[in-house]
């Protein structure tokens, strides 16, 4: 019988943000394969991981990809993953990328906050420029390979395709590429790869990389938002610094709440769905960590209210709507409860003269 890893071993093992695993589960469900069947097939490698946790062991993610391939027969699985990618695939890092001013700024954030998704010690994201061409590469470190950490073709293909898919989604443009490279050998049928990327695709190239013209870096993003971007960067930094474990369910709820507030989707139902949980399961997990959903919602609104109110371009009504309130009066009542004053008075006071300001 397989012995499960100890808590110390699980903590030390390389892991990946669970948004990646959730997207894969959603993808295979779209192929008509029940999520339960995928998890059952990969169970021998999943260990203690369950849907809804903040991180998934890297080996477990590879097992999910291999099980998905075995059960669906889709060798283009990584490409389809890239077509379905959305910001939450990369957890809070995805929202930080989405709200940047342009594509160059977003790409520049990836090496800084990549640990939100992939642990350091396994891989690196490297950016270089030569002769007006930019190369964005995902490098699995030699020491990781020597330590027995897996390099997986589907994982590499899904990540490179995800960069392109997310880039298309946040820019609303096709993102013309000069070349795509993969370090592994070509599949039997490489035509789907050229169709997806729309450019020459080289296999057995010794690296996983995208090459494109420097001018593409100036492409503006559809949902650029300077204030929200700062908040998401801060959340990404906290996610990197925070100890990892099941207690991080509260942190992941906070990450999902912020981008859902303006869309009035910051409900228990929507956040639970984003975590791959039922509302009741999410409530139980939060209770076991001494949190409630309403507490986290209030805390997220309180923190973001201070960020938004520092922007003179936003009216109090704008801030109320960004925080998911239907009326400004509801926001004002909540704000008075947090800080003992109105949003207008708080904004007018010198920095440092208000609670939590400065």
Q: Which residue has the tokens 């889709």?
A: 74
Using CB atoms within 10 Å of the CB of residue 239, give its burial: 0 to 12 exposed, 13 to 18 middle, 19+ buried: buried
Give the span between the Cα atoms of 36 and 43, in whole angstroms.
Answer: 10
Residues of the chain with CATH 3.90.1520.10: 7-218
Q: Summarize pLDDT for 18-28 with one digit per residue, the tens.
A: 788 888 998 99
109 CA to centre of own chain: 13
Give the span between the Cα atoms of 255 and 260, in whole angstroms.
Answer: 9
Mean pLDDT, the chain, integer: 85
Task: Please determine, for residue 213, whether its predicted confidence score (pLDDT) is greater than 90.
Answer: yes
For range 38-42, the mean pLDDT: 89
Instruction: Specify the pLDDT at position 234.
Output: 85
Give the residue from 53, 23, 17 showing the smallest Cα distance to 38.
23
For range 147-167, the mean pLDDT: 90
Give me the CATH code for the 7-218 domain, please: 3.90.1520.10
For range 282-294, the mean pLDDT: 87
Task: Please say whether the beta carbons of 216 and 173 come within 8 A.
Answer: no
Of residues 49 and 63, the one with the higher pLDDT is 63
One CATH from 3.90.1150.10, 3.40.50.620, 1.20.1560.10, 1.10.10.60 for 226-348: 1.10.10.60
Task: Please say whether the beta carbons of 304 and 319 come within 8 A.
Answer: no
**Token pair for residue 22?**
């959730």
Instruction: Specify the pLDDT at position 11.
Output: 47
Q: Is 118 helix (H, G, I), strand (E, B) or coil?
A: strand
Per-residue confidence at 47, pLDDT binned at 50, 70, 90?
low
Instruction: Specify the pLDDT at position 201.
Output: 97
Task: Please say whether the beta carbons of 219 and 177 come within 8 A.
Answer: no
Task: Please determine, for residue 223, whether its predicted confidence score (pLDDT) is greater than 60.
Answer: yes
Cβ partners under 8 Å of residue 167, min gap 6: 103, 106, 175
Instruction: Specify the pLDDT at position 50.
Output: 61
Using CB atoms within 10 Å of the CB of residue 243, give its burial: 0 to 12 exposed, 13 to 18 middle, 19+ buried: exposed
Of residues 50 and 95, the one with the higher pLDDT is 95
Task: Please say whether the beta carbons of 346 and 332 come within 8 A.
Answer: no
Of residues 242 and 302, the one with the higher pLDDT is 302
Give the span between the Cα atoms of 296 and 235, in whole angstroms.
Answer: 14
Residues of the chain with CATH 1.10.10.60: 226-348
Q: Summarize pLDDT for 82-124 with one digit per residue, the tens.
A: 999 988 888 889 989 999 999 999 999 998 888 888 876 778 8
Could you tell me the CA-to-CA distances from 140 to 149, 220, 354 in Å, in that order? 9, 30, 48
Instruction: Specify the pLDDT at position 280.
Output: 92
105 CA to centre of own chain: 17
Cβ partners under 8 Å of residue 264, min gap 6: 324, 326
Task: Please say whether the beta carbons of 175 and 164 come within 8 A.
Answer: yes
């Amino acid at each position: 019988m397989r012995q499960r890893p100890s808590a110390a071993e699980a903590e030390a093992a390389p892991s990946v943000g669970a948004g990646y695993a959730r997207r894969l589960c959603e993808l295979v469900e779209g192929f008509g394969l029940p999520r339960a069947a995928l998890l059952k097939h990969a169970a021998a490698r999943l260990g203690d991981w369950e849907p809804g946790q903040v991180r998934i062991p890297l080996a477990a993610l590879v097992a999910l990809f291999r099980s998905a391939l075995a059960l669906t027969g889709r060798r283009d699985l990584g490409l389809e993953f890239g077509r379905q990618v959305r910001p939450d695939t990369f957890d809070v890092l995805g929202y930080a990328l989405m709200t940047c001013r342009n594509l160059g700024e977003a790409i520049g954030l990836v090496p800084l906050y990549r640990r939100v998704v992939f642990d350091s010690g396994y891989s690196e994201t490297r950016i270089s420029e030569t002769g007006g061409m930019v190369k964005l590469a995902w490098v699995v470190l030699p020491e990781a390979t020597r330590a027995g950490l897996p390099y997986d073709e589907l994982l590499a293909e899904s990540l490179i395709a995800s960069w392109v898919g997310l880039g298309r989604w946040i820019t609303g443009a096709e993102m013309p590429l000069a070349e795509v490279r993969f370090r592994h050998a070509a599949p039997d049928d490489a035509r789907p790869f050229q169709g997806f990327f729309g450019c020459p695709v080289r296999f057995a190239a010794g690296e996983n990389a995208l090459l494109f013209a420097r001018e593409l870096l100036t492409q503006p993003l559809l949902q650029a938002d300077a204030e929200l971007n700062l908040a998401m960067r801060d959340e990404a930094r906290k996610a990197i610094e925070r100890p990892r474990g099941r207690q991080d369910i509260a942190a992941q709820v906070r990450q999902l709440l912020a981008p859902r507030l303006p869309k009035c989707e910051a409900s228990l139902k929507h956040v639970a769905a984003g975590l791959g949980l039922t509302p009741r399961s999410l409530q139980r997990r939060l209770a076991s960590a001494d949190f409630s959903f309403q507490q986290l919602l209030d805390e997220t609104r309180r923190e973001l209210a201070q960020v938004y109110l520092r922007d003179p371009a936003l009216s109090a009504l704008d801030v109320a709507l960004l925080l998911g309130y239907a009326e400004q009066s509801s926001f004002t009542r909540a704000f008075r409860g947090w800080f003992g004053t109105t949003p207008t008075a708080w904004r007018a006071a010198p920095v440092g003269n208000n609670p939590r300001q400065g």
